[in-house]
Amino acid sequence: MHRSETEGDLAHELPPALPPTVTRDDVQLPDDGSGPLLHRTYSARIRDASTRAEELMARLCADPNVVSPNEFARFQKTLGADDRMRVGDEYLVRMPGPWDGPIRVVDVTPTSFRVATLDGHLEAGQIEWRARDGGELLQFQIESWARPGDRLSDAMHHRLRMAKEVQLHMWTSVVERAARLSGGRLTGGIDIDTRVAQFSAAASAR
């Protein structure tokens, strides 16, 4: 793993706007969170993959659990068809202890999906999984834009660092399993880039 953490500019680190067709009910926006906003990207290059980006993402959209480390997280669908992922679908991500995280799908393309966190999640923001064909290499990324969901989550992430390490293990495991699912292997490890931006509601509104 190659990890970097730098100071970010809030104007460039906020998540994408929610599509107008997605209901805002129960969505935890960054404004609803606590502490700084973390814009984090897990990136991997996969060599010798036997699947293309669209095929890989179709399998992940059908069932994210095929790459989820079940000892840390399991996706339980609570709204929507079991065999596909569409905008408006909801999941409860089951995690050890009182960490279960409800999410809503807000965007789906042939090579990506993006979810927003809902009330009760440890984070307030959005997360996107995506793949891209790039010559001889298949690229896979997980990108998140989020603040801790409340002061307790902020303390666990920044002071006790418990949530941060659990999250690190979860997402790097997903990346590694996505590489195996593609039939390929990681080349160059996993790059984890974090940009930390001090949050203000006024700046967010602008």
Q: Give the other-Cβ count within 10 Å of 186's Cβ.
A: 16
Q: Per the confidence metrics, is the pTM higher than 0.85?
A: yes
Is the domain 2-10+30-205 a CATH 3.40.50.720 member?
no
- Residue 155 pLDDT > 50: no
CA 126/CA 160 separation, integer angstroms: 23
- For residue 10, give the H/E element and its range: helix 10-13
What proportion of the chain, given as a percentage, has pLDDT over 70?
86
- Residue 80 pLDDT > 70: yes
